[in-house]
Amino acid sequence: MASLLTASPGVRLARNDAAAGAALGPAPRLPLPWSASAVAPLRISSGKFALAAISLDDYLPMRSSEVKNRTSTADITSLRLITAVKTPYLPDGRFDLEAYDSLINMQVDGGAEGVIVGGTTGEGHLMSWDEHIMLIGHTVNCFGTKIKVIGNTGSNSTREAIHATEQGFAVGMHAALHINPYYGKTSIEGLISHFEAVLPMGPTIIYNVPSRTGQDIPPAVIEAVSSFSNMAGVKECVGHERVKCYTDKGITIWSGNDDECHDSRWKHGATGVISVASNLVPGLMHNLMYEEQTAVLNEKLLPLMKWLFCQPNPIALNTALAQLGVVRPVFRLPYVPLPREKRVEFVRIVESIGRENFVGQKEARVLDDDDFVLVSRY
């Protein structure tokens, strides 16, 4: 890996914006977005300046409550294939929105019904909150009528989770994904209180992945908050027994493990899967969740699913998408690409499953170390 390239931390802008603005001349005066009748009579305050009360109702297209409530919890609980979508980067580490939009279109075309934006797979933990909320808003703006946008707005800080969730719903996301507080773990009562603080804001999926958080969310917590009208369900990574425990109680569950999702769906009652593999083969993952007689397809996909988790996610996925030519081979540190032998293995897996089943149009190829760019400052 010693030969992997590192991008420079920034880009110098060559344009003189002040001069450019002067050359364009004064900006035209635009009409105000409200009518004169919407401005109330002046109210003289005790301060130095007079204050005007302005009614916004005449020009806001929707009230905030309407935006937040336009998606029902039932709209989320019916989704069978949700993709935890990858976030691609430019060589300087900024988002590659052109590649991102292409990825989302591939998910729509492949039959995915929802996307998790900025989750573990999308590297939300490597984003500033400004980047995070911008990407959620961009996804809603471009694709919100075609696919459900679920923003990962969870945090180990309840205050931060509340603020991010408010912003996520304000920019139009259809549902929130919330993890339990990690590292600074809390008590059972603390877990319940944490989720009770965010559930009133809109449809919510709770995410249980003890291997990352260091703390399991036990059934007692989920059962305690299951009466909330916004409780859409649980992304569960513990296994089939836990899935069955919830589905027997009528709680919606998505498998968080691609290699278990077939049996969770068809043998243990899960609604579907929140998937990493569907970034690569959305059509096949759609078939796996909708067509009951898919045991043979599941066996065919298992080598890919296991390969995707040979190192912590999303390392393998990032490597695979770069090898397929659908994203640039750019990694935000601390992630680095898989070693060459694993890259060779991926090309063989593609050949086994069939290139036509994978996203993109280019042939899968084995990239060299020098093809990758690692970004430490962005």
By annotation, the residues acting in catalysis are: 207, 235
Which two tokens mark 21? 């603005």
Token look-up 């690692």 returns: 374
Among 141, 73, 75, 85, residue whose Cα is nearest residue 112: 85
| Contact present, 204 and 234 (Cβ < 8 Å) | no
Contact call for residues 264 and 246 (beta carbons, < 8 A)? no
- List the one residue out of 243, 223, 239 whose CA is nearest residue 231: 223
52-59 contact pairs (CB < 8 A, 24+): 58/34, 59/33, 59/34
Spatial contact of 340 and 369, defined as CB atoms under 8 Å apart: yes
Q: Which of 157, 147, 91, 100 is nearest to 123 (CA)?
A: 100
φ, ψ dihedrals at 308, nearest 5°: -65, -20
Residue closest to 153 by CA, chosen among 191, 197, 110, 184: 197
Is the omega angle on the peptide bond into residue 314 within 30 degrees of 0, that is, cis? yes
Number of helices (H), then strands (E), in the chain? 15, 13
